[in-house]
Amino acid sequence: MTTVKPGIAAVETDGGCPVCRAPTAVWFMVVDGLDYWRCDMCEARFLDARHRPSRDDERAHYLLHENDVDDPGYRRFLSKLANPLLERLGACLKGLDYGCGPGPALAAMLCEAGHQMTLYDPYFHPDPSVLDRTYDFIVCTEVAEHFHDPAAEFERLDAMLRPCGWLAVMTCFQTEDARFARWHYRADPTHVVFYREATMRAIAARFGWTCEIPVKDVVLMHKAMTP
């Protein structure tokens, strides 16, 4: 069941927008008993913190995913990000697959292209030491929608990204509010934040990155050379 309350004014949420840290957000709608908010600054939509899944529930759901490194269909899907990223990278660089999951197919593809890849995932590759290093590029595919604190996550990514480095993100962009309740991406219980193209541009602007959207649902952000 979907409920939309007309005429709701902007109200304070706990911590405001988790993506851009704006102090206020607007109540958006209830879907099946779950409250969603929207931010008028960065245009993100996000699940109320009270309804986020537990770590155990998240891990159990991730184990249902079938992300086979050798699956040609999955590789074609990941090539939406890999191909435009590889066009912009130099040779033999060091990359991080952030939130790689149990089947790090993208890391394998980038290794095959001649790059040295490091894996990190809080459930399946939880080595914290890799978060203390820096990288020429970072890939984050089908991960950003799971961030409970996106602002902090992007700060961490910025700290790990070397000057002139690339951050490549793949997530299904939210577009039409009228379709939000029935949207398959929203229905995944581990998806707690939803980005628009404008949201990604706002994130890039916060860190002084350039922002390109070469294909639908893929964003490439380039960090400037340190002055």
Question: Residues 4-39: pLDDT tens digits?
Answer: 443 334 444 556 999 999 999 999 999 999 999 999
Cα gap 190→144, rounded to integer Å: 11
Look up the CATH architecture of domain 52-222: 3-Layer(aba) Sandwich (3.40)
Long-range contacts of 126-134 (CB under 8 A, 24+ apart): 130/96, 131/156, 131/160, 133/96, 133/160, 134/159, 134/160, 134/161, 134/162, 134/165
Contact 88, 218 (CB under 8 A): no
pTM of the model: 0.92
Domain boundaries, the chain: 52-222
Higher confidence at residue 62 or residue 67?
Answer: 62
- Tell me the pLDDT band of 3, cut-offs 50, 70 and 90: very low
How many residues can be counted in the chain? 227
